[in-house]
Amino acid sequence: MSAEHNNKDFSKVERIKIHQPDANKVDRFNPRNRIYVRAVEGFWSTLRKRLGWVAMLFFLVLPWIPWGDRQAVWFNLGEQKFHVFGLTIWPQDFTLLAALLMIAAFGLFFITTYLGRVWCGYTCPQTVWTFIFIWFEEKIEGARNKRIKLDQMPWSFNKLKLKVAKHTAWILISLLTAMTFVSYFVPTKEVYIEVFTLNATGGIYFWVILFTFATYGNAGWMREIMCIHMCPYARFQSAMFDKNTFIVGYNSKRGETRGPRSRKADHKAMGLGDCIDCDLCVQVCPTGIDIRNGLQYECINCGACIDACDTTMERMGYNKGLISYTTENKLDGVKEKVLRPKLVGYGVVLLIMTLIFVYATATISPIRIDVIRDRNLLFRETDQGLIENTFTLKILNKTEQTHIYNMSVKGLPKYEWIGLQQVTINGGEVLTLPISIAVDPVDLTRAITHINFGVETDDGAIEAKQESRFFGN
């Protein structure tokens, strides 16, 4: 076939292309213009689906795991206790929560600087639930073209049946999601039994209904609107990106000039690049962008366009990787740098915060003692001539077992303990105990003596101490 004949065929294809609707002209920023995501198969799509289903199953199963006489993970807000398997976190330990949030933040910064928005593309709940909803949508209404055609058709019994089936599936998924989420704060069996037997409290019904409609709205209707207009992460990610950050990128040097052609045509002789302008990369994108227009903050690095493009390249007999995970430097032919100050900085802070969190978690004391002095009277002299200070001890048993505790005070050579010195405290209870310490003034060498109250079990396995002061003459 001659080059002249090829050019004639190409011109004919171009004239046909002009009359086809341009997917890029759709105003994706208008919430009324719905994005119909096309199904795609490939390595990255398979990885995303598997991670999504694992995350979903982990979320659903975790509240059902038993741990003794309770569930393994239970955020008991009523008693202000967070149970995470064998660890019980009390309000006094909430600095651990702050540390955990800091670790999550710096972990996100580190991953974003190195791998871009892979969190958004693979593990963000909005993405996971959105693709689950799309999966059910495809199973009920059909592929992308069928869904578009169905929405353009006038209402009929068949259309109503499909729409009702789809939205029923969405609502059931949303209800399951809401009840599972509430089960992290209220015992799981209690939630399911009381909700379905209509014996749940108004608060439980409120939160179940709220999260049901929130999930249904976010994953079913809003979808990319959440990512484009409402998620703050997309707005400040540019502060973490650099030219060595991995992004989903289009190799314009290889792909341009784009245009349709037959598989047997010599596209190089026609002056064309490898991109055949099939728009599949746009049709599979959950946010409706055209990755060929360059780096855009709406891109969530899900890799769907990579799989779509690789499939097209394979069918055309071209090399894969026209769209790939790459960096701006690589696209520009500049040498990449893996280690750079920003990435190292985030990594060092992340490592330090993680070590601190692990140490703090491992050394959580199973008992806590707070000492409150009598503010009205610093000290008084007894009938025996002793100097007496009054204290209120608050002892918290942070374990789930009952223990017998012995109390003492250090820092005084000789003293008389007035009040109970051995107490029994049930698991999770706080004991308020008023006591007094009396000392012979002869044994006091200064007006203020620093002392330490201690509490421990008989075997010394559990102990805690708290500093205070003893006032004398």
Q: What is the pLDDT of residues 320-341, one digit of tens each?
A: 999 999 999 999 889 888 889 9
Residue 17 has pLDDT above 50, yes or no: no
Average pLDDT over residues 395-411: 90
**Of the candidates 193, 228, 197, 180, the residue with the CA atom closest to the CA atom of residue 56:** 180
Average pLDDT over residues 89-112: 88
Average pLDDT over residues 224-229: 86
Residue 7 has pLDDT above 80, yes or no: no
Residue in this structure with the two tokens 């097209």, named with its chain if needed: 312
Which pLDDT does position 26 carry in this prediction?
52
Model pTM score: 0.80
385's CB contacts (< 8 A; 6+ apart) are 440, 441
Please list, residue by residue across 141-176, b when 16 or more beta carbons sit within 10 angstroms of its beta carbon and e when fewer do.
Answer: beebeebeeeeeeeeeeeeeebeeebeebbeebbbe
Average pLDDT over residues 295-320: 94
Task: Report the C-alpha gap between 308 and 320 in whole angstroms.
Answer: 10
Residue 311 has pLDDT above 80, yes or no: yes
Cβ–Cβ under 8 Å, residues 277 and 29? no
SS3 432: strand
Amino acid in position 450:
H
Average pLDDT over residues 355-376: 88
Structural domains in the chain plus CATH codes:
3-13+247-331 (no CATH), 15-239 (no CATH), 367-471 (2.60.40.10)
- Residue 260 binned pLDDT confidence (cut-offs 50, 70, 90): very high
Residue 14 has pLDDT above 90, yes or no: no
Partners of residue 67 on adjacent β-strands = 70
Task: Report the C-alpha gap between 41 and 46 in whole angstroms.
Answer: 7
